[in-house]
A = this chain, B = another copy of it.
Amino acid sequence: MRYTLEDIARKAGVHLSTASRAMRNDKLISAETSSKVRELAKKLGYRPNAMARSLANQKAMAIEIVVSTIPSFANPMLVQNLVGVYEIAELNDYDIFIGTSEGTVQDWSTVLRAFQERKADGCLVFIGSDDFVNDPPDKLFSKLLPVVFVNNMVRHQNTGSVNFDNFQGGYLATKRLIELGHKRIAFIGPGKERLTRERIRGYHRALKEAGVKTSQELYVERQYDMTGENGATAMKQLLQRIDFTAVFCSGDWMALGAMEVAKSQGLSIPGDISFIGFDDIHLAAHVTPSISTVKQDGEKAGRIAAKILVDLMKGNAVPDGNLDITIPVELIERESIGPAPR
C-alpha cells in the first residue's frame, strides 16, 4: 500500500495542510503535532510523491548531465567529474539524469527538451567541441535555463563554465620536453575541441619562448575523440612524413595508441621518442612504460561545476567572477620521457 499525504493526515487526525507542513518541520506547526505526524508517516513508510511536489513547487529537483553520446562515459575524466557532481547533487537533494546530444554535435534539442518539459532545473554540459557552442539558439538562453559547461565556455546569462588550465598544461609539458633537449616535438590531438586548442597555444608559447622553430608538419589533428585508435593513426602518419624526438598528445589514450605504434615499429621509449599525455587517467601509471602526463583533478571540476549550477538553479546571487572557473593542472613525470637522443 502506498500512502498519500491525505491518508497520513486523516490517521493523525489533522488537516492535509497541517500534515504537509509538519512533514517539512514548518515552525508554524506545534512541536507536538509535528512529531505525531512525522512518526506516523515514518511508521507507515510514507514518502511524498515527487511528481506532485514538483508540480506544486515548480521545481524538478533534477540536473541533466549532457554528453555527446553514451560511450563518452568511457572517458575516465568524465567519470571523475561525475563523482564530484554526484556528491554536490546529493547534498542538495538533486537527482541526476542523463541526456545525449545524439551524436549531432550541434544539437541542443536535449537541453531544450529538458527545460521545456521541466524535467530538469538545470544542465551540466560535458561536451568540449566548438560546434556545440558556436551558435547556441537564442531560444535557449533567453529562457534562462541555467547551464554550466565543463571543458567548454559560453558566456551568457545564467551560464557558468569550468575549465582546466589547458594552456598552462600544454606549456608545462612542452617546456619540460625542451628542457630535456628536444627540439622537434610533434603534437597530436583533436583540433576542434576547445581544450585542445588551448593546449596547442601552450605548446606554441613554450616553443616560442625557447626559440624553437615550429613546423606545420608536426601537427596531426584528428577530427574526433581522443581514442587510442586515433592516436595510433596519427602516429603512423607522423612517422611516415617527418622525424621528431618527442610527441605531446592531447590525451592519455591517444598517447597510449601512439606509443603502441612506436613500439611495434621497434622504437624505444623514451630512448628514441619521448611521449607525454594529458589527463592522468588511471591507466597511465600502469602501462609500460608508464606515461608522463598532465594531471587534472576531475572530481574537483565536477564539484565546482555542480556548485555553480546549484547556485544558479536556486537563484542565489553568484558574483560574476565565480561563474567561469579555471582549475590549475600539474605535470606528472613518469617513464615515457627522457633526454633527447643526440
Interface, chain A (partner B; CB < 8 A): 2, 45, 47-52, 54-55, 60, 62, 70-71, 73-74, 76, 79, 82-83, 86, 95-98, 100, 113, 116-119, 139, 143, 228, 256-257, 260, 263, 282-283, 286-288
Q: Hey, which chain B residues are within 8 Å of A287, CB to CB?
A: 287-288
Using CB atoms, name the residue of chain B closest to A83: B70
The A interface, classified by DSSP as helix, strand, loop or mixed, is: helix
Partner of A97 from B2, B54, B95, B260 at Cβ < 8 Å:
B95
Collect the chain B residues with CB atoms within 8 Å of residue A263's CB: 288
Taking a contact as CB atoms under 8 Å apart, the answer to whether B79 and A76 are in contact is no
CB distance from A138 to the nearest CB of B (A): 12
What's the number of copies of this chain in the assembled complex?
A: 2
Residues of B within 8 A of A62 (CB): 97
Q: Complex Cα distance A291/B51, Å?
A: 49
List of 6 A-B pairs having minimum Cβ-Cβ separation, nearest first: A97-B97, A47-B116, A50-B117, A51-B54, A51-B55, A73-B79
In the complex, the answer to whether B282 meets A228 with C-beta atoms within 8 Å is yes
Q: How far is the CB of A39 from chain B (nearest CB, A)?
A: 17
Q: Quick check: A116 and B45 within 8 Å, CB to CB?
A: yes
Which among A95, A143, A282 has the highest number of chain B CB atoms within 10 Å?
A95
Measured in the bound complex, the distance between the Cα atoms of B56 and A55 in whole Å is 11
A143→B100 contact, CB < 8 A: no
The answer for the CA separation of A139 and B2 in the assembled complex, in Å, is: 11
CB pair A257 B228 closer than 8 Å: no
Known A45-B139, A51-B55; 4 more pairs at CB < 8 Å:
A45-B116, A47-B116, A50-B119, A96-B98
Residues of B within 8 A of A118 (CB): 49-51
User: In the docked arrangement, what's the CA distance between A266 and B94, Å?
Assistant: 51
Residue contact A51 to B45, C-beta cutoff 8 Å: no
11 inter-chain pairs at a CB distance below 8 angstroms, sorted by A residue, are A45-B139, A51-B51, A51-B55, A51-B119, A52-B55, A86-B98, A97-B97, A98-B98, A256-B286, A260-B286, A287-B288
Q: Are A116 and B2 within 8 A (Cβ)?
A: yes
Q: Considering the chains assembled together, what is the distance between the CA atoms of A23 and B86 in angstroms?
A: 36
Evaluate contact between A60 and B51: CB separation under 8 angstroms: yes
A52 to B58, CA, bound (A): 10
The minimal Cβ–Cβ distance linking A60 to chain B, given in whole angstroms, is 7
Whole-angstrom distance from the CB of A141 to the nearest CB of chain B?
A: 14
